[in-house]
Amino acid sequence: MRKFLLPVVIIFILFGANSFGTNSFGANPAFAQNGKIDIESIKDSLPPIWLEAFEENVGIMGENIGVFEEAFAQLNSDEKKRAGVFLVAFMPLVDIVAMDVDTFVDNINFAFKAREEFPWGDDYSDEFFYLYVLPHRVSQEPIVNFRKFFYDALKDRLKDCETLEEAALEVNRYSDELVGFKPTQYRDQGPFETLKSGYGRCEEMMIFYMDAARSVGIPVRHAWTPYWAHCDNNHAWVEVWANERWNYLGACESKDTLNSAWFSNPARRAALVWTIPYGLPNLETMDEEIYRYVDDKPEKYAIVNSTNFYTTPGKLEVTALYEDGEPMVEANVYVYVFNFGGLRPIARIATDENGVAEITIGAGKYFISAGNEELGGGKLVTIKKGQKAKATIKPVKGPVLDGYFWVRPAKKEE
């Protein structure tokens, strides 16, 4: 993957725009336009977090509120209006101001059409439909009206597929026939630009495959490692829901089975693997570890720590203390790997009221730092599979660490 962006950068572009929009525009009454999106028939049945986020985003739509008024008027069932509320609730500002009626309505109509027509539409929950099939975007690509194109291209090709696994593999064969790997610019291409050129970076291959898969009712999500711990670079790929579990594949790199890709061995040595849904999953029903869950700010999003799906990880527990031994509350703890000639942060976690922060992470040696705007400290830690490593840092003013040190990745046999 030839794009060296950290998860925090990705999240800002996808979701942080909502924060900017609310702070800058939401406080300006002149930006809000008169208008009303009709959701009265479903309003009382919506999860509170959906309704809150929806109303916040309606308040910053400005002149584009007319697009959503017309779009919701064209949604011919309460079920589809509910889907529309979900999309708007967690939509970044860039999409709120750029969305058009046809793209919004077609995205919803064809998502429901695919789920109803293909036999695997009953193999996942409504929540998974919202989080992993319905979304109109994957990462930072421009929004386009992609569903009808991919639905028409794939519906006959998938006529003999009976399961999610069979369909997911066939969609990847289709994608592999059309798209190969080649470095491109830092800004993500949309699926049609990738189709026209015939190539893309790993993230653009991922976008192409995910758009195609969602168009035929297959739940998929974006997976990536921010930086490899054992070599330079990073990578992005796709996780597919099939056989009542998440599976992985290399997008546009077809194989005969799931969980088989050129990066299978590197992933076993990964420091961290993140996956991301669109919106917020239900924590009461979710059995995966959440790395980030933000529901109390304008930018509402979640990141899942999927590292334990690829390897047997360990646990890192960091305690940050002031010099007098008092806990440093809400200190930022960073985890670094050596990549491209320097220490690269791969995670940021905040300490709790006891000054403690924890994360599940792959085996290996890492540099960690802890502190606030005035104080800082750091040290090396070694993580072993299935074990918890504990580290205490007392941040001070001045250099974080003196001298030199080695940062070694996990060995193949570890």
pLDDT tens, position by position, 104-153: 999 999 999 999 999 999 999 999 999 999 999 999 999 999 999 999 99
**Cα dihedral: 18, 23, 25, 26 (round 10):** 90
Q: Where are the alpha helices (DSSP H) in 91-180?
A: 93-98, 101-117, 126-128, 147-154, 164-178
What Cα–Cα distance (Å) separates residue 223 from each residue in 58, 251, 363? 30, 11, 19
Half-sphere exposure of 155 (CA within 13 A, CB side): 13
Question: Taking the model in full, what pTM does it have?
Answer: 0.89
Give the number of other CB atoms < 10 A from CB of residue 236: 24
Q: Which residues of the chain have pLDDT under 70?
A: 1-35, 186, 410-414
* Residues 32, 37, 38: CA angle, nearest 5 degrees: 155
Give me the domains of the chain, ranges plus CATH numbers: 7-308 (no CATH), 312-393 (2.60.40.1120)
Tokens matching residue 384: 């072993």
Tokens matching residue 44: 């009382």
pLDDT given at position 21:
34
pLDDT given at position 387:
97
As beta bridge partners, residue 32 has none
* 3-class state of residue 317 by DSSP: strand
Phi first, then psi: what are they for 162, rounded to 5°?
Answer: -115, -20
pLDDT given at position 53:
96
The position carrying tokens 């194989």 is 255
- Provide the residue count of the chain: 414
pLDDT given at position 299:
82
